[in-house]
Amino acid sequence: MKKLDILSAPYVEEMIEVTSNLYRLGWDERNGGNVSYLLDEKEVEPFLDLNDVQRKIPMIFDASGLKGRYFIVTGSGKYFKNVQKAPSENMGIIRIAEDGKTLDLLWGLENDAVPTSELPSHFMSHLSRLSVNPKNRIIMHNHASHLLAMTFTHELDERAFTRTLWQMCTECLVVFPEGISIIPWLVPGTNEIGIATAEKMKETRLVLWPQHGVYGAGETMDEAFGLIETAEKAAQVFTYVKAQGPILQTLTDENLWKLAHAFGITPHPGYLEDEK
Ligand code: 2HA
Ligand code: ZN
């Protein structure tokens, strides 16, 4: 059967849209940021011959837990700025081979490009998220400016950091009731940072990389993007608030509990003072 044009696949369109938005927001300068999107075989099959492997790409770590799974991923060293005008050079569709250590390239990553250098963090985070939510499909990393800046001026305690973000906009607690996790500063692209990020991903969909950026996860592109966008907005408000001067009033824990009840969500245990 004749295959449909891959550029019309909804997930290709979503990747183009999100990378363009991330670039436009200034969170992904140069080759900053990476996105991976878990695809169902049924979503790929109408567009690509699944037996037509363009290239085999070896990996530095074992992703056996994901063998046979399909992803669309951004390319290593590629600029989000360029994804829209040259999708097949800047992204690729891959399948994890039987050995767990090789990728079958089915489309894209033209001119010998390879998937994002942060693939260990992405794959390990996918495994973590899937273990707590089988519907998770997106892992997204970017250099959201105000969150990044806050890792210089705010104490890097997960409870304190989460509380500050929750206090900056009423919606924050509702959007990420589980809070934000923080790993130590580590070298990007390594298995070590992958393991640290993935460990946190079992608890929270947001993980902060000090002096670097942020990771977000979600069932959909909108969820992952909206999550980072909301935390980043809170960080932006924090930046303005600090610049404007002393805080005269804020969201109290009593307010936050009222919100939690109104929206039927459970705040991370211990992050709010006990209810009176
Ligand atoms: O791919 O953002 O963390 C560029 C990065 C690495
Ligand atoms: Zn980065």
Residue closest via CA to ligand 1's atom 4 equals 32
Ligand 2 centroid vs 174 CA: distance in angstroms?
A: 27
Q: Which atom of ligand 1 is nearest to the CA of 209?
A: 3
Supply the residues annotated as catalytic. 118
116 close to 122: Cβ distance less than 8 angstroms:
yes
Residue of 36, 79, 125, 141 to test ligand 1 pocket, by largest number of atoms within 8 Å of CB: 141
pLDDT of residue 131: 98
pLDDT of residue 180: 99
What confidence tier does 202 reach under pLDDT thresholds 50, 70, 90? very high
Cβ of 31 below 6 Å from ligand 1: yes
Residue 199 burial class via C-beta count within 10 angstroms: exposed 0-12, middle 13-18, buried 19 and up: middle
Displacement of CA 50 from its chain's centroid (Å) = 27
* Percent of the chain clearing pLDDT 70 (strictly above): 100
C-alpha count within 13 angstroms, C-beta hemisphere, residue 29:
5
pLDDT of residue 234: 98
pLDDT of residue 197: 98
pLDDT digits (tens, 9 = 90+) for 88-132: 999 999 999 999 999 999 999 999 999 999 999 999 999 999 999
Residue 183 carries which DSSP code?
A: P
Q: Which atom of ligand 1 is nearest to the CA of 34?
A: 1
Residue of 118, 139, 212 to test ligand 1 pocket, by largest number of atoms within 8 Å of CB: 118
Cβ of 32 below 6 Å from ligand 1: yes
Tell me the average pLDDT of the chain: 97
Paired sense of beta strands 180-182 and 206-209, if any:
parallel
User: Is residue 60 pLDDT above 90, yes or no?
Assistant: no
pLDDT of residue 125: 98
Residue closest via CA to ligand 1's atom 3 equals 188
Q: Which atom of ligand 1 is nearest to the CA of 143?
A: 2
Cβ of 36 below 6 Å from ligand 1: no
pLDDT digits (tens, 9 = 90+) for 235-246: 999 999 999 999
Alpha helix ranges (H) inside the chain? 10-24, 41-44, 87-90, 119-132, 145-153, 158-168, 171-175, 191-201, 221-244, 253-263
Residue of 19, 80, 90, 116 to test ligand 1 pocket, by largest number of atoms within 8 Å of CB: 116
pLDDT (average), residues 4-12:
98
pLDDT of residue 216: 98
* Percent of the chain clearing pLDDT 90 (strictly above): 99
60 close to 2: Cβ distance less than 8 angstroms:
no
Residue 124: phi, psi to the nearest 5?
-65, -35
pLDDT of residue 1: 80
Strands (E) in 19-111, as ranges, are: 34-39, 55-58, 70-74, 91-96, 102-108
Residues 6+ apart with CB under 8 A from 12: 6, 72, 87, 91
Residue 41: phi, psi to the nearest 5?
-55, -35
Distance, CA of 254 to CA of 53 (rounded, Å) = 57
Domains of the chain: residue spans and CATH: 1-117 (3.40.225.10), 118-268 (3.40.225.10)
Distance, CA of 132 to CA of 126 (rounded, Å) = 10
Ligand 1 centroid vs 19 CA: distance in angstroms?
A: 13
Residues 6+ apart with CB under 8 A from 169: 230, 233, 234, 237
User: Is residue 61 pLDDT above 90, yes or no?
Assistant: no
User: Is residue 276 pLDDT above 90, yes or no?
Assistant: no
